[in-house]
């Protein structure tokens, strides 16, 4: 018998005992949607084939060990409330409305069918809402399930998530939308990128989204808009979004070329989705009371926040040194950084931090010298090959569970 199934669903199943091809009763074809950021499509790809006996597989799938009831109720309730249709009291009239941290920290093996974050080894980008108006070089959408896992690993939700190198801001936005921290502080040095965040977060989201939907994109109109240097912050924000959409790879640094052929030969238009951009921008407007943006040097802000034990720092700096995949590249206006200084400041933080870097020997050595924990984790590159990124923190045991 052959069964084709979705990789995310497969990962929620208990481990199936595998047998040799010659003994097989059921062949499980596990398919995944693998994002191809170059063409901006998801490609249905055979991830692996698993051979099992019929009875052993059936028994494994249908027999669960009972687990913690309170955690189950909490999870169902969160999902239901997200849907906005059901309230916990309707489903479980006697359910406690809040749980203590020891109830929440129980292992949740038996609830895996309801869990879309904890078990993903290689992360499918399609499972993470795209919330940023940017398509950002080095963007961390693929890391979001890990970030959720990290922010949920504390006994108490962090009061502040601080992101010193915000870029496209997917981590900050996800934290604000999913209430992974009470408040979010975003910092970015590039004035073009900063103009976008300042415009959206200072109450001009509607203006910016109207400017985008009202713009008739042609090669000529784009060139004219980008030649124009007049206007204040919000006009710079519009031009930044435009550039980010029509430059190859979303690169905003000087010297970036234009998208040539784009998706289906659509050229410049191929990544211009005005209605989608509008929706994302207006959505961010709904959570802006929880977000603060600061234009400046991320390391200096970390220094200023070093004594805040209730802050968590997500640190994704530009890294073009060493011999890694980004070596020598110029993806950002500000690509150079004193990594030694960054690590030194990270070592003084009272709050926890999570850094992410190219998995590079120099970086590993830097982390080792500062006494930090490191963990290489799989990511997918644009050619679907498996590559690793290096997570760095004080103690990454939460990521090993």
Ligand X SMILES: C[S@@+](CC[C@H](N)C(=O)[O-])C[C@H]1O[C@@H](n2cnc3c(N)ncnc32)[C@H](O)[C@@H]1O
In the complex, the residues that contact ligand X under the rule CB under 6 A are: 136, 138-140, 164-165, 167-168, 170-171, 187-190, 193, 297-299, 316-318, 332-334, 337
At residue 75, the 3 state secondary structure works out as helix
Provide, rounded to whole angstroms, the least separation between the CB of residue 165 and ligand X: 3
Q: Which is nearer to ligand X, 133 or 138 (CB)?
A: 138
**DSSP secondary structure letter of residue 258:** B
Kindly state the smallest distance separating residue 294's Cβ from ligand X, in Å: 9
Q: Rounded to whole angstroms, how far apart are CA atoms 269 and 237?
A: 19
Which residue's CB is nearer to ligand X, number 30 or number 251? Answer: 251
* Minimum CB–partner distance for residue 326 and ligand X (Å): 9
For 375, list phi and psi in degrees, rounded to 5: -150, 115
Closer of 71 and 326 to ligand X (Cβ): 326
For residues 355 and 316, the answer to whether their CB atoms sit within 8 Å is yes
Shortest distance (Å) from residue 287 CB to ligand X: 17
Phi, psi angles (nearest 5°) of residue 112: -60, -25
Rounded to a whole number of angstroms, the minimum distance from the CB of residue 136 to ligand X is 4
β partners of residue 117: none
38 C-beta neighbours (distance < 10 Å), count: 12
Tell me how far, at minimum, the Cβ of 234 lies from ligand X, in Å: 20
| Sheet order of strands, 352-358 included | 291-295, 183-188, 160-163, 311-315, 352-358, 386-393, 373-380
Cβ 46 to ligand X shortest distance, Å: 29
Pair 301, 164: CB distance under 8 Å? yes
Residue nearer to ligand X on the CB measure, 52 or 172: 172
Contact status, residue 166 vs residue 188, Cβ threshold 8 Å: yes
Candidates 171, 211, 163, 210; CA nearest to 187 is 163
Distance CA 385, CA 36 (A): 11
* CA pair distance 243, 212, nearest whole angstrom: 12
């Amino acid at each position: 018998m052959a069964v084709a199934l979705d990789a995310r669903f497969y990962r929620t199943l208990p481990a199936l005992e595998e047998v040799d091809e010659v003994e097989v009763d059921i062949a499980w074809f596990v398919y995944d949607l693998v994002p191809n950021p170059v063409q901006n499509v998801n490609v249905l790809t055979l991830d692996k084939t698993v051979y099992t006996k019929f009875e052993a597989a059936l028994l494994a799938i249908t027999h669960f060990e009972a687990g913690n009831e309170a955690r189950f109720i909490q999870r169902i309730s969160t999902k239901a409330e997200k849907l906005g249709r059901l309230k916990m009291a309707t489903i479980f009239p006697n359910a406690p409305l809040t749980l203590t941290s020891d109830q929440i920290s129980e292992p949740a093996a038996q609830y895996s069918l309801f869990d879309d974050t904890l078990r993903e080894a290689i992360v499918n980008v399609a499972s993470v809402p795209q919330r940023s108006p940017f398509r950002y070089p080095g963007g961390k959408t693929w890391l979001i399930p890990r970030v959720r896992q990290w922010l949920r690993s504390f006994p108490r939700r962090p009061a502040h998530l601080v992101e010193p190198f915000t870029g496209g801001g997917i981590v900050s936005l996800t934290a604000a939308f999913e209430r992974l921290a009470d408040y979010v502080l975003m910092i970015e040095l590039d004035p073009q990128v900063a103009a976008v965040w300042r415009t959206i977060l200072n109450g001009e989201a509607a203006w910016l989204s109207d400017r985008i939907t009202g713009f008739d994109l042609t090669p000529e109109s784009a060139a004219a808009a980008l030649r124009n240097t007049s206007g204040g912050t919000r006009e710079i924000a519009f031009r930044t979004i435009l550039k980010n959409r029509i430059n190859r790879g979303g690169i905003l640094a000087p010297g970036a070329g234009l998208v040539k052929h784009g998706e289906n030969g659509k050229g410049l238009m191929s990544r211009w989705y005005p209605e989608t951009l509008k929706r994302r921008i207006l959505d961010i407007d709904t959570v802006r009371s929880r977000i603060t943006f600061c234009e400046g040097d991320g390391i200096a802000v970390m220094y200023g926040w070093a004594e805040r034990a209730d802050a968590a720092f997500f640190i994704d700096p530009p890294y073009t040194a060493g011999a890694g995949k980004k070596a020598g590249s110029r993806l950002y206006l500000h690509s150079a950084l004193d990594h030694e200084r960054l690590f030194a400041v990270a070592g003084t933080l009272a709050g926890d931090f999570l850094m992410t870097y190219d998995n590079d020997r120099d970086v590993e050595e830097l982390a080792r010298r500062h006494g930090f924990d490191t963990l290489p984790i799989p990511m997918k590159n644009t050619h679907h090959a498996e590559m690793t990124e290096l997570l760095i923190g004080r103690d990454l045991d939460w990521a090993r569970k």
